[in-house]
Amino acid sequence: MNTADQYLKTIYVVQKQEDGPASTGSIADALGVSPASANEMIGKLEERGLAEHEKYKGVRLTDDGIVKARDALQTYCIIERFLANVLAVEEFREEAHELEAVIDDTVADRLDTIIDRQPECPDCFDPETDACACLEVAAVPAEPEQ
């Protein structure tokens, strides 16, 4: 997933959380980048017709931006689900963030053929837990009673 897609995904999620335009500060925080870097990328997204920036209000994705953001979020969900359910990675959220830049959409699509994703994806993505709400993570087995 390229950097632009990571931004689109983040703006989409922040916009939903804030129920309105996403502030540059929230976007920068969510991505762990400086507000200056966030501003620069937001400018590029605007040039491509994917986002609109209103001074003092924040960023809003255009319809085209929303389509791309939802695709990117779906790719991210595939990576999380794959790590959690196929490779049994406990820290799947952290690893998904680390790896998302190196995993292309086409690769995620192929990984998608072996995971059980819900048809409502990516609407089931829960920003609070940073994961799909339908994701079942294998619980650590309880110690057997003596």
Partner 1 sequence: MVEVSVSQRITSDDQLARLLQIGIVLEEVVEARAHHHYESLDAELDEEVETLLADAAEESAEHRARLEGLIEGLGVDSVPFDEIESLVDARYGRTQPDDFDGVLYDQLCNEETAYKFYDDLIEAIEGSDAEFSLDRAELLDTLESIREEEAEGVSEVTEVMERR
Read off the DSSP letter of residue 30: H
Does 111 help bind partner 1 (rule: CB under 8 A)? yes
| Nearest CB to partner 1, comparing residues 12 and 82 | 82
The Cα 143–Cα 146 span in angstroms is 9
Helix or strand or coil: residue 58?
Answer: strand
Check: CB of residue 93 under 8 Å from CB of residue 130.
yes
Q: How many Cβ atoms are within 10 Å of 54's Cβ, its own excluded?
A: 9
137 interacts with partner 1 by CB under 8 A = no
Among 64, 116, 123, 126, binds partner 1 (CB under 8 A): 116
Shortest distance in whole angstroms from residue 32 CB to partner 1: 8
Residue 20 or 120: the one with the smaller Cβ distance to partner 1 is 120
Q: Give just the sign of the alpha carbon dihedral 36, 38, 41, 46.
A: negative
Among 24, 39, 62, 107, binds partner 1 (CB under 8 A): 107
Q: For residues 23-62, which are near partner 1 according to CB under 8 A?
A: 31, 33, 37, 40-41, 44-45, 48
Structure tokens at 43: 């400018």
- Span from 18-26, 60-68, 101-109, 135-143 in contact with partner 1 (CB under 8 A): 101-109
Query: Rounded to an integer, what distance in angstroms lies between the CA atom of residue 115 and that of residue 94?
Result: 19
Told to check if 3 binds partner 1 by CB under 8 A, we report yes
Tell me if 67 contacts partner 1 by CB under 8 A: no
Among 99, 121, 124, 134, binds partner 1 (CB under 8 A): 99
Helix axes 24-31, 3-18, angle to 10 degrees: 120
Residue 115 vs 132, nearer CB to partner 1: 115
